[in-house]
Structure 1
Amino acid sequence: MMIKSMTGFGRGEYGEDNISFTVDVRTVNHRYSDFSIRMPKTVSGLEEKVREYAASKIGRGKVDIFINYDSFGQDVEIKLDTNLTRSYIDCLNAIKDEFNIKDDINLSLLTRFSDIIKVEKVEKEEDELWRILKAALEKAFEALSQMKEREGQRLFTDIKDKLRYIKEIVDEIDAKDEGLVYAYMDKLRERILELSKGIPLDESRFMTEVALMADKSSIDEETVRLRSHISEFEKTMDSRGTVGKKLDFIIQEMNREVNTIGSKGTEIDIINNVVNLKTEIEKIREQIQNIE
């Protein structure tokens, strides 16, 4: 089984050197590829790389990627502004001398001047951040792929069952069609003879025309093409890659043949078969909307 569902969820976490990323990926069915990425501004420079990575893993579907980034304080540096501190000390000593204040200038007093200590953000190397983030992405997309494969297996099994039922119905139509063609020829011959009483007929020409008209009512070509489409559908499901669009095209062709059979087959048994075929084909068409 190769097909994958477009619906799934995966989470991946990875961290080292006090840097950690958590990635959540959610996918749902969509006609084309549509990527939405939410990540902290501090690492927003990596968004394009995340998008390229996701595009290499997802062939079709709406993809929402949520990225959380923690640095555990490793991306900050505390610096003392020595010049400003010296200015504060000089100013405090001047106050002491001017107003004859005996109190000492201590560390507790100086730390009240918050601007002498500066907390600066240290930017990490983008390549290093990407290496760690990519490891989290790989885990998330691996979990997503496993879930999509499990759902794809369920779809695969169910569609295969429906295709088997469709082939059984086509066999029934074929069996009925062979007898119906001969019955149609006999009825048509009787009707023409009835309408042409007293008029001499060329029996050979007459039978040729009857056979031609009966052949036009045959649905053999349609059932042959329908079987061919079913076979192609099954081969496509067993192939690798993004197959949802091709399956959708084939199911439309199958439906086209069934509509033609319905327009030719006037017998109630065949009409009932056509109704059942259209019902099963519609069920499959709805399911393949969720195949990648």
Structure 2
Amino acid sequence: MKEQGVTLKFVDLLKKHMLKSMTGFGRGTAQLNSKKITIEIKSLNGKQLDINLRMPAFLREKEADIRSMLAAVVERGKTEITLSAETIANEPAHGINTALVTAYYKDLKSLAVQLGATDNNLLSVVMQFPEVFNQSNGELSEEEWIILRNTIANALKQLDDFRLHEGA
């Protein structure tokens, strides 16, 4: 039994020091509430680590963590990681900030009266203003981050396995 453990350690050591290609690909998907997150990682040859990270705004708070995960696996090369989100539930992606719309509308109506202008299209104008729509994306909960982190780790493992296979 001891020989088997030594053999497994030797195999692990060999894998660690085998030549890896710098070219690789890994992919994963996760479901977070009403969103399906797709992760794609591509790596190419390069002298230094160059990470290009694309992600939806609601994941930006985790950018440093994601970069650290990637740098731990990919030591050098040009690496692109794309996280995309797709709404899969029938719930609306946003709501209307009615208090803000009302305030904008009243202010514009008052201004139109002062200037003697028509107020025909005020609502359509107000709907173009910033922050009129509430994004329900919010921040990730700890449970969602754990799911996403595990999915990224799996995609990184696929990438590393691909690179190991290509280098053999």
Shorter-chain TM-score range: 0.5 to 0.7
Where do 5+ consecutive residues of structure 1 fail to align?
A: 85-112, 154-292
| 1:29 is the counterpart of 2:66 | no
Where do 5+ consecutive residues of structure 2 fail to align?
A: 1-13, 103-122, 127-131
Q: 1:51 to 1:7 in 2, by over 3 A?
A: same
Aligned-partner Cα distance in 2 for 1:130–1:75: 22
Q: How far does residue 58 in structure 1 lie from its aligned partner after superposition?
A: 1.2
Q: What's the counterpart of residue 159 of structure 2?
A: 144
For the aligned residues, what is the CA RMSD?
A: 2.9
Aligned-partner Cα distance in 2 for 1:57–1:137: 11
Aligned-partner Cα distance in 1 for 2:78–2:65: 18
Q: 1:149 to 1:42 in 2, by over 3 A?
A: same
- Which of 52, 60, 67 aligns to 1:51? It is 67
Q: How far does residue 40 in structure 1 lie from its aligned partner after superposition?
A: 1.8
Q: Contact 1:10–1:25 (CA<8 Å) still a contact in 2?
A: yes
Secondary structure, aligned partner of 1:69: strand
Q: How far does residue 152 in structure 1 lie from its aligned partner after superposition?
A: 1.5
| 1:62 is the counterpart of 2:78 | yes
Aligned-partner Cα distance in 1 for 2:50–2:94: 39
Length-normalised TM-score, structure 1: 0.36
Aligned-partner Cα distance in 1 for 2:62–2:140: 11
Aligned-partner Cα distance in 1 for 2:50–2:57: 21
Q: 1:24 to 1:81 in 2, by over 3 A?
A: closer
Q: Pairwise mapping of residues 214-253 of structure 1 onto structure 2 (< 5 A)?
A: none
Q: Larger radius of gyration, structure 1 or 2?
A: 1
Aligned residues: 122
Length-normalised TM-score, structure 2: 0.59
Secondary structure, aligned partner of 2:20: coil
Q: 1:71 to 1:152 in 2, by over 3 A?
A: same
Q: What's the counterpart of residue 140 of structure 2?
A: 125
Q: Contact 2:32–2:144 (CA<8 Å) still a contact in 1?
A: no
Q: Contact 1:40–1:67 (CA<8 Å) still a contact in 2?
A: yes
Q: 1:52 to 1:79 in 2, by over 3 A?
A: same
Q: 1:75 to 1:138 in 2, by over 3 A?
A: farther
Flag the structure with higher strand content: 2
Amino acid in the other structure paired with 1:12: G
Q: Contact 1:20–1:132 (CA<8 Å) still a contact in 2?
A: no
| 1:4 is the counterpart of 2:13 | no
Secondary structure, aligned partner of 1:147: helix
Q: How far does residue 65 in structure 1 lie from its aligned partner after superposition?
A: 0.8
Identity of aligned residues (%): 26
Report Cα offsets for 1:109-131 as digits up to 9, x if no partner: xxxx898xx85323133544432
Q: How far does residue 16 in structure 1 lie from its aligned partner after superposition?
A: 3.7
Q: Contact 1:75–1:124 (CA<8 Å) still a contact in 2?
A: no
